[in-house]
Amino acid sequence: MTENQNIRVAVDAIVFGYQNSQLYVLLIQQKFGTQESYWALPGGLVKNDESLQDAVKRELKEETNVEVNYFEQLFTFGDDVNRDPRNRVISIAYYALVDPSKLKVQADTDAEHAQWFKINEIPALAFDHNQILKKGLERLKAKLTYEPIGFDLLPKEFLFSELENLYCTILEKEIERRNFRKKILSFGIVEETENYSPVKTGRPAKLFRFNHKKYNDLHEEGFHFEIKFA
């Protein structure tokens, strides 16, 4: 009985990007198989001698030419025995956040079929990928409130208003500008730089930077990041 198990192991990647008050996800167009022409999450089968993390990085790179160095495991999909009509396949889904500079890397080498989609313009995807994406989005929303991951979606130096908009956009909520700023600054993990934004409209604004080291130190001491909204 242990000898005839016939289950494939795949990984899938949800890669989130953000720009101009829009959340994006990176998708690829299926070329082969029964799900041909459907868009899908990047991913594929794990190799025998490869870690799951490596597998998801490799597949992403192969299929979209995007490189990501940190993926977080999201969930393993394997309760629906027929989630892939060809074989029994279980998929370990991962997600990653990339900064806006990566949003332009489409139509590359063999990644011609990769494209960034706005989160609310996602088509019907192959397999159970809409469901996977849904779970990823829920996780993103939840994490945004209790871990400082929003910064991973912004350039190294960013405007406070961008951070603000990111929270509004992803969480689909209004926020009180003054209180938000006060709160974030009170943590002491975001610092003003000497630079001003190149934006030409309105009063010039200082650029800010997330201080990873400071956050890690505070975190060690028991600090918990948390942003709540009514």
Q: Which is nearer to DNA, 6 or 186 (CB)?
A: 186
Region for residue 21 given its phi and psi (left: phi exceeds 0; alpha: psi -120 to 50; beta: otherwise): left
| Complete edge-to-edge strand list for the sheet that includes strand 206-210 | 157-159, 206-210, 190-196
Q: CB 187 → DNA: shortest distance, Å?
A: 10
Contacts of residue 51, defined as CB under 8 A and 6 or more positions apart, other chains included, come to: none
> Which range binds its own copies by CB under 8 A, 6-14, 34-42, 107-115, 168-176?
6-14
Q: Which is nearer to DNA, 135 or 206 (CB)?
A: 206
The reply on whether position 161 binds DNA by CB under 7 A is yes
The residues facing 77 across adjacent strands are 91
The reply on whether position 105 binds DNA by CB under 7 A is no
The reply on whether position 227 binds its own copies by CB under 8 A is no
Q: How many CA atoms lie within 13 A of 136 on its CB side?
A: 29
Cβ atoms within 10 Å, residue 86: 10
The reply on whether position 182 binds DNA by CB under 7 A is yes
Minimal CA–CA distance to 163: which of 204, 139, 129, 191?
Answer: 191
Residue 100, contacted partner among DNA, its own copies, none, CB below 5-8 A by kind: none
In whole angstroms, what is the distance from residue 10 CA to residue 7 CA? 10
Residue 53, contacted partner among DNA, its own copies, none, CB below 5-8 A by kind: its own copies
> Which range binds its own copies by CB under 8 A, 61-69, 80-88, 158-166, 204-212?
80-88
The reply on whether position 69 binds its own copies by CB under 8 A is no
Binding stretches for DNA (CB under 7 A): 159-161, 176-179, 181-183, 200-206, 226, 228-230
